[in-house]
Structure formats: C-alpha cells, structure tokens
Structure 1
Amino acid sequence: MPGKYILAVDDSLVNRKILSKIISGEYSVIEAENGEMAIEILRRQYSEIVAIILDIVMPVMDGYLVLERVADDERFKNIPIIIATEKSDNESEIKALRLGAWDFVSKPYNGEIIKFRIKNAIERSQLYTLQQLRYLAEFDELTGIYNKNKFYKSTREMLLANPGADFVLIRFDVDRFQLINSFFGTQEGDRLLKYIAKMLSGYVSDKQPSAYGRIEADVFCLCFPSSYMADIETSMSKIRDLVASYNLNYDIVPSCGIYYITDRGMPIEIMYDRATLAAKRCKGNYVNFYAVYDGSMSAQIVREQEITNEMSSALATGQFQIYLQPKYHIASNLPVGAEALVRWFHPQKGLIPPGDFVPVFERNGFIPKLDYYVWEEVCRLLRKWADEGRELYPISVNISRVDLYNPRLAEMVIELTEKYDLPSELLNLELTESAYTDNPVAMSETMAKLQSKGFTIMMDDFGSGYSSLNILKDISVDVLKIDMRFLSKTKIPGRGENIIASVVRMAKWLHIPVIAEGVETKDQVEFLRSIGCEYVQGFYFAKPMPVEAYADLVEKNGGLSQPVGASFEFNGSQMCISDNRLEELFADMLQPVAIYEFENDKVEAVRVNTPFFELLGYDDGSITGGTPLDLIDPKYHDSIIDTFRRVAETREEEECEYLRRTSDGKSKWLRIRLKYISKIGARCILVGVLTDITIQRELDMDSMRLNGEMGKEDK
C-alpha cells in the first residue's frame, strides 16, 4: 500500500518477518536490522512512514539512541514510535517514554493487539498534526500570540459583536530592530519579541474586549475600545515604557501608529495600513514616538505612488536637471564653488520639489540611481567647462546614506573622475552626519578610500545628531557644514549662537574649514563673520540656480575666490594659534601656559599645558569648573581684570602679580605675562605664561620683617 509504510526496526529477522505478515494487509513494511539503518531510512523516506515499531536491544545503535536521534530532528517529531519488548520492565518503559516513545507491545506479537495499537498511534499522530496545523494557521509560532490572519479575523468578529463601542487600532514596531539582531544575535532578538508578546497580553488584560497579534518580524498590532485611550499620551507612554523595560543594554524605542476606527465596514487590512502610515510619520523620533492617522496621510501615499510609478521614465527622459547653489567666502563676498542639487521638471505637473520626491526615493531604493546621475552630470559639466578653457572650481555632490551600503561606492566615484579625466579635488563629496550613525563602518572605509585618492569629504548637517563629537574624533573630515536652522526655536536666548561659535572655534583648532548653510539674513552674516566663520551658503547670497546662471555668475565675478579647503591655512589674524605655536606652547615650553578667552570682563581658561597642572594641580578649579578669578585673592581681582582689558585693547604684552590658591588648598604667588592672540566676535583669545614667584615673595617678606626688627633695635 504505497504511502503507508511501517518501519520495523529489529535485529531479529524472524521478528521482522512475523510483524510484516501480521500487518501486511493494511500496511507495507520497511525493515531495518539496527538503529543506524533505521535513521538512514527515515532521512530518505520520513514523509511516507506512518509509524515505527522499535526494538530496544540491538547492535550498532540501540533503540534508546534511535529515540534520541528522532527527537532531535523536527522532520520526525510526528511519527509515532511503538516499543517492542520481550518482558515488562518499569524502569526501561519510563526511560523510553521520557525519550519520546508513544506506546508499547509485547513479544511474541499478538496480531489483534499490535494492529489496534498501531491504528491508535497513527490516529493520535494525525490528530496532533491537524491540531498543529490549525495552531500554525492562527498563532505565531515564535511568540504564541495571534498571527496576522487570526488577528484580522478576531478584530472583525470583535467589532461585529460590539456595535455600540468605539475602537482604536494601534500598530507598532521597534526602531532599528535589525541592529539588535546584529549586535546581540537573533536569539536575543527572538527573546525580545517574546517579551513584547507577553507585555501586550498584560497591557490589554484590563481592556476588554481586545485583540492583539504579531503581524510580521517586529511588527505588532492591538485593538481595544478607544475609551481606554482617554489620555493618549499616558497610554502610549506606558507602551513605550513597557517595551523599554526589557533588560538589554540598548535603547529600545517603539514607533506607534494609531487609527481610530470610524468605518466598521472597512477591511481590517486597510485599518492596519492607515495605522502604518501614521507610524511612518514618527519613525526614528525618540520624543514624538507615536502619531495619529489623519486623512492627509492617504493623500500622501497616493502622491508617493505616483512618484514611484514615474521615476524611472523621468530619469530616462531627462526630467531631472542639475541646479547649482554657490558657496561664498564671507570676507570677499566671492563664490568659492557650488553644491549640486537636483530639480524634477515634470512635463505635465511642472516643478516637483525635492522634498516631495527625495524621501520617497530613499525609501524605495531609487536614490542611488538618481545620485549617480547627478554625479555623472557634474563630471560631464566640469569636463565641458575644461574643454572650453574655463577656470575650474570644485562642485560638491551629495552621497545619501543608502549609497553607503554599496560596497563599490568608492570605486564608482573614482571611475567617474577617471572617465571624464578630472582631478579628484574638483568633485567634493557631502555626506550627512546621520549616515555615519546609520553605518559607521561603511562610511569610515569609504571615506578613507576616497580621501586617499584626493577627494574632499564634507560632513553635512554637523551637530544635528547625537554623536557629533564622536564623529569628529573618529573620522577624518575635511570640511564641516553647519545649518543655521540650529539657531531657530531655541528656548534659551543665545544658546544656539554660543554653540555655533564653539563649533567654529573647535573646528579651527582642528584646522577644519566650516561652511554655514541656510544663511538667509544680514544679521546671520554679521554673526558668522564675528565668530570667524569663513564660508557661507544660503538664500542671502544666492538661491540654487540653473547651470548657465552659475556660469554667468562666475564670469561676472571674474573667477572665484579660493576654494574651500584648498591650501587652507590658519594664523592669528584668522582665528587662533597655528600648529607650530601650539607645539611650542604645549610641548616644548617648560613654563606653565594657559589660553584664555576674555569678554565683558569675564575670564575663562580654555586650554592649559602639563606644567600648568604640575604647578597648580590636575584638579585645578579654573579648568574643572568656575573661573580663574574664583581661586585668586579678591584683593587682586581688579588688577587682574585691568591687565586682561589692557592687553585686549592695546594688543601689547602686559604682566601682573597675584596670590592664588592651588587645588590642594595652598597659596602661591604667581606672575602672569599676557599676550594677545586673536579675536572671535567680541571674545579675545589671550595666552598667559605663569611664573611661580612664591619663594621670592616669601624672601621679600622675611627681609621686610627682618629690617623692621633691626630698626626697632636701633631705637
């Protein structure tokens, strides 16, 4: 009987033949003389075998080991195993049952009994398989909660059974869940998913009626009466806190989309889609981690689909055009190159703003094709101008975070400049700071390859992320770009300006040029000029313009100013101290040296050398907190401030003496010689060289006391 085989495993040929004769009318028998042969047969024909009659005592591999091997293989778990024994032994039966045996028969075989037990075992197996199939059809195998289909069905039944109640559907997933699998392994990721399932069960336990399930991957959904969402912020914060409470050294943040069900006749699938649209609105936003669906989101998805449908033909027919936005040298008001941007001119719809199509292309994976098109168009343009005998200046192009996942990115850029016979310094490359946080390894490797070939790397939107200083420490960036929008919507007056000024100062210390973009007002220009920012880009100077307009601008200005980063040198008149002078002050000099900022009669120590610490202590308060004046005897405050003020005004060297406490509470007499270095806005940069004159002062005072005592004796 094909398809219904019994596997008889026994080292006795006689026993196998007797068994075969008993059941031959209903089943076909496959014989195995030991356990090893049985396992080989199972691996080949497990889908055809409906039961196994297994002897325990056999050579090569006994029955117990066969039971273990069967239990270890998921393919065999539903095949019933009946143990054939010659004598009853409770201990042996318990061991066999523990290893997975289904039933027992005695030797010599009783035909009626063995056929009955085989039939029962097979029926139990079929029932178990049917139940398992039903379970898998309704429940998620990993988490044990409803799967997508069962959740949709259960939600539909719940809505029909409660016509008088209003319901809300919440869809959420875990931000960057794939990183958890990458950092901690898939087993840890699975444990997190099981934890979320258990958390959902507890969350809705007091919200009845309710339904919840795992839709796919790390996506979960739940539905319950909206009356439980009277305070939406509290309700959603509880979900976030429950997810975040999972004990893992990783910041677990959900993105939640909320849809209030208004049309009960709508398919649950569409309700879920609407909640998904809302979730996309807040994806990656730690603070605003949830969003409520509104009608504009559906209109947006329609627009995005139209863009997706037309993007390939638009690229093929040249609807995308290059625009150039000049970058200016703030001192000369002359351009220093440009940034290439892209505009979409649709034959029917006209201009489609980049904000409408670029995010869509990033999501659907089309952005690398568009980026490469822009890179090649810029190379083609530079080659054309070179052939026309024009003087060439750099144009920067954007590299998106998606591009960084291409292992051939560096090679593609290098091949383009070689194809058009262009020096690499003419094609500058702009990468956003967020691209580093998404894929730091890929960015570091790609930048290193490109910089080794002479390309200039610009870090766009510097300061917008949470890891700016790490990026500056770890990556060899050639130019920083900061956005003037950083100044907007600040609750603390002046905080944004001070941060930008500090970034410019820090970049100068590192010899990294800074470009401020988004510059739109004269006040912003004056502010940037006052803090020593050399380069700007924005509507105040020029909007993005067609290629021909940019060429006319360059010709009108008689060429460009010095390109950003080209032979870029720093000196005292620009910002602060050159590398050679820093080396002299902080490495070669044996005297204590400090660099100070002075503004509005306030003194701040911004850097000191090792002899300074050796003199005053490594936990000196002028560096670890407060100001230098806090540690100086108040009698000398006025003279100190007067000295700083004179040096700032006259730019001549001055010195003064004062009494100061050290970090261990002792007092020292110091002489400071101050010298003017540069000015950043209203702040003066001064360098001070300190001399310990404590012994000299003590000798002077001893001498004065001695002279006083001798004078008394003369009288």
Structure 2
Amino acid sequence: MAEEQESSSLTGEIETLRRQLRYYQEYDQLTGIFNKAAFCKKCAELISMPHGSPFDVVCIDIERFKLVNDIYGMERGDSLLCHVARGLERKFGCRGGIIARIASDVFALLISHEAEGILESDILSIFKSCPVEMSVMPSIGVCRADNDTPVEKLCDWAVMALDSVKHNYMRHIAVYNSDIRSMLLEEQEILSSMESALEKKEFTIYFQPKCNMTMGKIIGAEALVRWVHPEKGVISPASFIPIFEKNGFIKRLDSYVWEEAAAWLRRLIDAGGKPLPVSVNISRTDFFGMDVCDTLMTILRRYDISPELLELEITESAYADRPQEIINTIMKLMNNRFTILMDDFGSGYSSLNMLKDIDVNVLKIDMGFLRRDSQKSRDILKSVVRMAKWLNLPMIAEGVETKDQVDFLLTIGCVYAQGYYYYRPMTAEQFLNLINAPEKMDYQNGGKLIPVQNQYLDFHELFNRDMMSDRLMGNILGAIAIYSFDGEKLYLLRGNEEYFKLLRRAGVTNDMAQDIMPTVAERDRPLLVKSLKQIQGASDEGSVEVTVRPFVGVTDFWIQMRLFHLAKKGEDEIYYAALADVTEQMEAIETLRISEQRFRLAMEATNIAIFELDVRTRVATYSEYTRKTFGLDATVTNAPEGFIEQGTVCEEYIDRFRGIYEAIYRGEKKASCVIRAILGDGKFAWNRVSLTAIQDRNGKTVKAIGIVERVPFDPKLWIEPK
C-alpha cells in the first residue's frame, strides 16, 4: 500500500514537473503570455482549421523602449511590458485572440480580421495609462494570415509593416502590402550594390550653404551625400541612409564623407581660397562601431586641416542610446577643438534633459515646428530660441523655405539659417563658384556662429506662477518690476529684490502701489509717458526702451527701462519692465561724443589728410581737406572698396591697400603701407596710409584713425603696371 502511495506521489510530481516544463517552454517568464515558439505553433493550428473569417497577425513595438529603461530603470521598463501584456489580454483575450511577447519589446496577436481603425484605437487605449511619466506610443504592423505562409514569416512581414511607421507620430499602424514588399525589394537592391558604389565613388558630396539672415551672406556649409547612380541618376539620401544605419554600412559611408570634405577643404586652401567651416554628419552607429575622434583626427592630419574647419552635426536622437558613451566621445571631440552641433534640436523626447548632461557648441533647430504654421508651433519655436539664448548657445534654423519664416526667425532672435529659401544643396563645383564671389561671403567671425545677445524676452509665460518661481525672478532675471499706468501715474505692483537694490543705489525709495513718476527727473517724464503709450499698441513681441536721468537722489545716475505691455485691466494698462544701471555706459557715450566732436574739429582745422573709419559699418569719414585732395564723395562706404571704386589708388597697388584694412578688420592694432595714389586733380603721388585701431574694453576694434602722408619716391616701392 505504501509503495502504491509512493508511486502515485512520484507520478504526480513528474506530471507537475512536466506542466512546469511546458509552461517554461511556451510562456514568457516576465509577462506570463505566450512566447514566440508557442505563438507560432498555436497560430498555425488555428489558421489551418476550417473557419469563416480571416485572421490577422498583428505585431506591436514600443517606441523608444530603451529610453524608458535608461531614464526610469529596468524595473519600470519591466512594469511597462507587463502593463501592455495585461492590456492586450483584456482587449483581445476575450475575443479569442492569441497573445504573445516575441521579442524584447515586441508583442504579437492573432485575431479575427477587423477594421484597422478599431484595432489601432484599442491598442492606443492601452498606452494611455502607462506606468511611466513620459509619453509612450506603439508602432503597429498588420499582416493578413493564410495557410500557405509560415507564421514566422507572417510575423516578419508584420514587423516590416510596423517599421514603415516607426517614429511617425502622426500615424501608428500599417498593413503589409505590395508597396511595402516593393520597398523591401528596393532595399535589397540597395544593399547588394552599396559596396561597389563606394568603390566606384558613386557617392558624391554636395554642399548646402549656411547663411547669416541679417546680411544674406554665407558663413559656412553642410556637406551632404548623394548617390549618383550610373543608371538611376541621383538617389535621395532618404532612400539609402536608413538602410545603411540598420546594417552598419553607414560607418563606412560617413568616414568616406568626412574624408571627401577634408580633401575638398585642402584643395580649396591650396588654390588660395579662403575657407569657411564645413559641417559633416555623425550617425549614432558611428559612436559604437569606431573611435570617432581618432578617425577624424587621422583624416585631418592626412590633409593638414584644422579641426575648426570640420564641424560635426549629431542628431539629437543619437544621444538617447548609451548616453554616457556619447557624452565621453563628445567631450573628447570638443577637447580636440571640434565644434559640435546638436542637429534636429527640439524634435526628440528629452531635449532639456540632455542639455543638462551634454555640452554642445550650437543648436540646430528643426523648422518642422513651422510646417503647420499654427500659433502653437510658433510659440514652441519661440520657447526653443529663448532657451538657447538663456544658455548662451548659438543657434541655426534648418529647412527655412519662405520669406515669412525668415522674418519670424529674425523677430525672435535667430539670425542663422539653412534652407531652400537661400540655397539648395549643390555640387562641389557649383559651391566653389559661389564662394568665389566675395560679396556673397561673410568671413567676419571665421564662420563661427555667435550667440544672440541683448534680445528681449517674451514674459507672458514667465509671469505665469506655474512657470517661474520667485527665486528665478529674484536671482536670475536682474532688476524687474510690474507696473500699472492710468495715463499719468505709474504705480509699482510688484518688484524683485534686484529692483529695490537698484533704486537704493539711485537714492530712491519706492514702495508697492506708489507712483514712481515723481522719482523721475521732471524733464524726462514726458519721454517716459510717451514710451508707455507707444508700447500699448505694439504686438506681443514689441517692446520699447527708454533711458531716464537723473532719478531723484543721485544726480549722475542713469537707468535704462525696457518696457513690455502685458494687458489692460479696467482703466489701467499693465507693464513689465526690465531695469538696468547704465550710468557707466552713458558716461562713456558722452565722453566718446565729446572726443569725436573734438576730433572732427581737429580734422577740419588741419591740412593733414586724416579720416575716421567705423569698423562695424566700414564707413570712412574724413576732413574737407582730405575730400578735396583726393576728389572724394562726402563719405566713403564699404572701405576700402569705396576708395578703390572712386579711383584713388593705382591698380597695381590695390592689393597692398586692401591688406591694411583686412588687418584692422581681423583685429590687428596697426597697419600701414605705401601706395601710388591718384589725387583729385589727376596727378600721381606717393602716400603712406596708416591705420590705428581703437578698441573697446573687451579688446574688440570699433573704430580706426587713418592718416595719409606724402612720402618721397623710392624705386624699391615701384610695382610694374599690369
């Protein structure tokens, strides 16, 4: 009897073990739903049975699932997978569907065929209540089931369908069809010919200029790759770049483009051309398949090119994968003097979060923000630009196509752009012809993008207490206040600590709800009132600046007020004001004005040929004696070209004459040359032209003083006429 009981117990344990083994063989251990092998087996059995309605194989991929793990940790990622599994069971288990997890974050269903709209809606509803704070969305692929195709292949086709809508945030579902099949055949054709295309140099670099919108001049370019196929012609990068990124060939193609860009720069320099930076793209795959910095430095050493001339564009989405490795590589590149541009900034999931951890030199803004041309899109873009200015980062907008876009970008403080409005991508030969026209180029900063300074901010959002703390208002924005104005009196409604510190320095006491007009010098009050009324009718972006002196208390104190009109409340107008102590600047301006007045008087009182050069505008102003001696117009613009165009320099000495101006413009303190000049009466004379720079406190040249002296002829100075 005991033996029978023992045998029965052993049989039961064996059966339990068998059931456990079957469970482990058929079910996913994390979510408790079928695994891929079991799914394929059970689907094949069901599809082969006689039935009335057709079946669909549906695959669902969680967009950017790895980002969830990186931000929230593996435990939260597992929780998300279980949430999706339970949701699929609730929605489709009751309809007789077979549900499985067939890969890390890919789920599969076999369900009776139903409308795509209903299927998409049901799946999206599961993702609306995910256990993570970030928005998580699915990509869904559908494939019609049949008895002739293995279930594994049906799953592959469904995954191909979902791949076609991946990262498309307007569309989440696709059905495998002949178009997708054709796309896959085309992909296979590209893969089969990519090696030979690289060997035959069918991949060609094109250049798309980058421009300073305030002048419409070129400051650099981006090197883009085109596949010039001997039979198909030019193949768009959109057709082959995603394929190369998936199979890893992009590393070889990117290295090839870097090499071609460096070689082109070397040829330009060797031909005597003046180079501007060319940017190249770095794929996320490059970071994990090669030592990017060593590869680039090897190329630059081969062509003796400075890293400043080869800028690097890295797509924002690249930072999402293995961010620490990316950060380390970026730091290494920046330490080697490369300029890093974050491409497509603002189009990803966590732009702000990444900027907290990653140093970049330039933000490249995706103009996709404005494709819908809605106020919301414009507000988003304004916020991105505002943030870049807070971070003191230069920015460039790409994809600029219309004059309206240019005007809008300039009003919000973005001055650099790239896009069809200015230039389409062009061949290397076309680009070379373009940059050989000096009037189209801006070499002033060597092609470096400069952060926009002293731009006003839109404070409608900032004064929403949900978006700006008192600490931010008190410590970061400087002296600011909110006033109400009834047409005569200006009352203080709110001011931060810096505001009251500024007034105390001016010897003024101003309490809340107190009229500040009596604290303003009487002669300046009409100007302040005029400014307040002027800004009432301005647009949301408008502001007005007024400088008043003196405030009562300290007679030599100047305060600059930048006023923004916020709203009308009853009979009163509400304003925001940013205030600053500009006493030192105003005194410097007054001193400079007196000095310039004395200088002009001295110029007119002497028979020395003397002139003043404004470096920013390149306008030369000179004495009446100088004007008459050389037969010049009242002023000369675009110096030195303006002097040359008026025929004051013999042709063979023009390059020498230009050279001293170029020296001053690039920051040298003094420059001089001797030329053969043509006087106003047509006679020739030997003159020494000397330029002395006047620099501001930051060492930047703002003006130059020029003196023209008659010198005796020296045969050594003679240049044979051309």
**TM-score normalised by the chain length of structure 2:** 0.62
Could you tell me which residue of structure 1 aligns to residue 102 of structure 2? 215
Q: Secondary structure at the match of 1:389?
A: coil
Q: Secondary structure at the match of 1:337?
A: strand
Is 1:432 the counterpart of 2:320 in the alignment? Answer: no
Could you tell me which residue of structure 1 aligns to residue 302 of structure 2? 419
Question: How many angstroms does 1:488 deviate by?
Answer: 1.6
Question: How many angstroms does 1:467 deviate by?
Answer: 2.8
* Change over 3 Å in CA distance of 1:294–1:236 after alignment to 2: farther
> Of 533, 542, 550, which aligns to 2:423?
542
Distance 1:370 1:597 in 2: 60
Could you tell me which residue of structure 2 aligns to residue 513 of structure 1? 394
Could you tell me which residue of structure 2 aligns to residue 593 of structure 1? 479
Distance 1:497 1:131 in 2: 61
Q: For each residue in 1:389-417, what CA deviation from the matched residue of structure 2 results, as whole angstroms up to 9, or x when unmatched?
A: 22221101111222233462222222322
Is 1:688 the counterpart of 2:573 in the alignment? Answer: no
Could you tell me which residue of structure 1 aligns to residue 138 of structure 2? 254
Q: Which amino acid aligns with 1:611?
A: E
Gaps of 5+ in 2: 458-471, 504-511, 519-524, 536-541, 565-574, 582-722
Q: Secondary structure at the match of 1:516?
A: strand
Distance 2:387 2:481 in 1: 14
Query: Within 5 Å, which residues of 2 pair with 1:370-409?
Result: 370-406=253-289, 408-409=291-292
Is 1:340 the counterpart of 2:226 in the alignment? Answer: no
Is 1:653 the counterpart of 2:537 in the alignment? Answer: no
Q: For each residue in 1:494-550, what CA deviation from the matched residue of structure 2 results, as whole angstroms up to 9, or x when unmatched?
A: x43454445445534544322222222233333334444332211222111111111
Distance 2:252 2:105 in 1: 30
Q: Secondary structure at the match of 1:543?
A: coil
Given that 1:508 and 1:576 are in contact with CA atoms closer than 8 Å, whether structure 2 keeps it comes out as no
Could you tell me which residue of structure 1 aligns to residue 325 of structure 2? 442
Distance 2:309 2:17 in 1: 68
Q: Secondary structure at the match of 2:95?
A: coil
* Change over 3 Å in CA distance of 1:309–1:538 after alignment to 2: same
Given that 1:513 and 1:534 are in contact with CA atoms closer than 8 Å, whether structure 2 keeps it comes out as no
Q: For each residue in 1:445-480, what CA deviation from the matched residue of structure 2 results, as whole angstroms up to 9, or x when unmatched?
A: 222222222211112222223433344444333222
Q: For each residue in 1:45-100, what CA deviation from the matched residue of structure 2 results, as whole angstroms up to 9, or x when unmatched?
A: xxxxxxxxxxxxxxxxxxxxxxxxxxxxxxxxxxxxxxxxxxxxxxxxxxxxxxxx
Query: Within 5 Å, which residues of 2 pair with 1:630-649?
Result: 642-644=530-532
Is 1:460 the counterpart of 2:343 in the alignment? Answer: yes
Q: Which amino acid aligns with 1:158?
A: L
Q: Secondary structure at the match of 2:431?
A: helix
* Change over 3 Å in CA distance of 1:168–1:611 after alignment to 2: same
* Change over 3 Å in CA distance of 1:230–1:190 after alignment to 2: closer
Q: Which amino acid aligns with 2:45?
A: E
Distance 2:269 2:383 in 1: 40
Question: How many angstroms does 1:372 deviate by?
Answer: 1.2
Q: For each residue in 1:125-153, what CA deviation from the matched residue of structure 2 results, as whole angstroms up to 9, or x when unmatched?
A: 98777766666554445555433233223
Question: How many angstroms does 1:196 deviate by?
Answer: 4.7
Q: For each residue in 1:570-612, what CA deviation from the matched residue of structure 2 results, as whole angstroms up to 9, or x when unmatched?
A: 797x7469xxxxxxxx99x9x98338999xx9x9x9x986422
Say which one has the larger Rg: 1
Given that 2:91 and 2:122 are in contact with CA atoms closer than 8 Å, whether structure 1 keeps it comes out as no
Distance 2:406 2:135 in 1: 39
* Change over 3 Å in CA distance of 1:118–1:234 after alignment to 2: closer
Q: Which amino acid aligns with 2:100?
A: G
Could you tell me which residue of structure 1 aligns to residue 716 of structure 2? none
Question: How many angstroms does 1:297 deviate by?
Answer: 1.5
Could you tell me which residue of structure 2 aligns to residue 533 of structure 1? 414
Q: For each residue in 1:423-450, what CA deviation from the matched residue of structure 2 results, as whole angstroms up to 9, or x when unmatched?
A: 1110111112222344432333222222
Distance 2:132 2:408 in 1: 45
Q: Secondary structure at the match of 1:515?
A: strand
Could you tell me which residue of structure 1 aligns to residue 609 of structure 2? none
Gaps of 5+ in 1: 1-102, 105-112, 578-585, 617-629, 659-670, 679-683, 691-715
Is 1:226 the counterpart of 2:117 in the alignment? Answer: no
Distance 1:502 1:191 in 2: 34
Distance 2:8 2:55 in 1: 48
* Change over 3 Å in CA distance of 1:419–1:610 after alignment to 2: farther
* Change over 3 Å in CA distance of 1:551–1:223 after alignment to 2: same
Given that 1:339 and 1:396 are in contact with CA atoms closer than 8 Å, whether structure 2 keeps it comes out as yes
Given that 2:314 and 2:341 are in contact with CA atoms closer than 8 Å, whether structure 1 keeps it comes out as yes
Distance 2:308 2:148 in 1: 62
Distance 1:294 1:597 in 2: 64
Query: Within 5 Å, which residues of 2 pair with 1:136-535?
Result: 138-140=26-28, 143-179=31-67, 193=81, 196-208=84-96, 210-227=97-114, 231-241=118-128, 244-245=129-130, 247=131, 252-261=136-145, 263-284=146-167, 288-406=171-289, 408-492=291-375, 495-535=376-416
Given that 1:640 and 1:656 are in contact with CA atoms closer than 8 Å, whether structure 2 keeps it comes out as no
Q: Secondary structure at the match of 1:328?
A: strand
Q: Which amino acid aligns with 1:309?
A: S
Given that 1:334 and 1:557 are in contact with CA atoms closer than 8 Å, whether structure 2 keeps it comes out as no
Distance 2:32 2:448 in 1: 64
Could you tell me which residue of structure 2 aligns to residue 33 of structure 1? none
Question: How many angstroms does 1:183 deviate by?
Answer: 6.0
Q: Secondary structure at the match of 1:402?
A: helix
Q: Which amino acid aligns with 1:593?
A: A
Given that 2:120 and 2:172 are in contact with CA atoms closer than 8 Å, whether structure 1 keeps it comes out as no
Given that 1:643 and 1:656 are in contact with CA atoms closer than 8 Å, whether structure 2 keeps it comes out as no
Q: Percent identity?
A: 37
Given that 1:379 and 1:417 are in contact with CA atoms closer than 8 Å, whether structure 2 keeps it comes out as yes
* Change over 3 Å in CA distance of 1:346–1:280 after alignment to 2: same
Distance 2:137 2:164 in 1: 15
Q: Secondary structure at the match of 2:408?
A: helix
Distance 1:595 1:372 in 2: 54
Q: For each residue in 1:644-679, what CA deviation from the matched residue of structure 2 results, as whole angstroms up to 9, or x when unmatched?
A: 356999966347999xxxxxxxxxxxx99544699x
* Change over 3 Å in CA distance of 1:205–1:189 after alignment to 2: same
Distance 1:498 1:251 in 2: 21
Given that 1:570 and 1:576 are in contact with CA atoms closer than 8 Å, whether structure 2 keeps it comes out as no
Q: For each residue in 1:145-190, what CA deviation from the matched residue of structure 2 results, as whole angstroms up to 9, or x when unmatched?
A: 4332332232233233343113232211333444555566667656
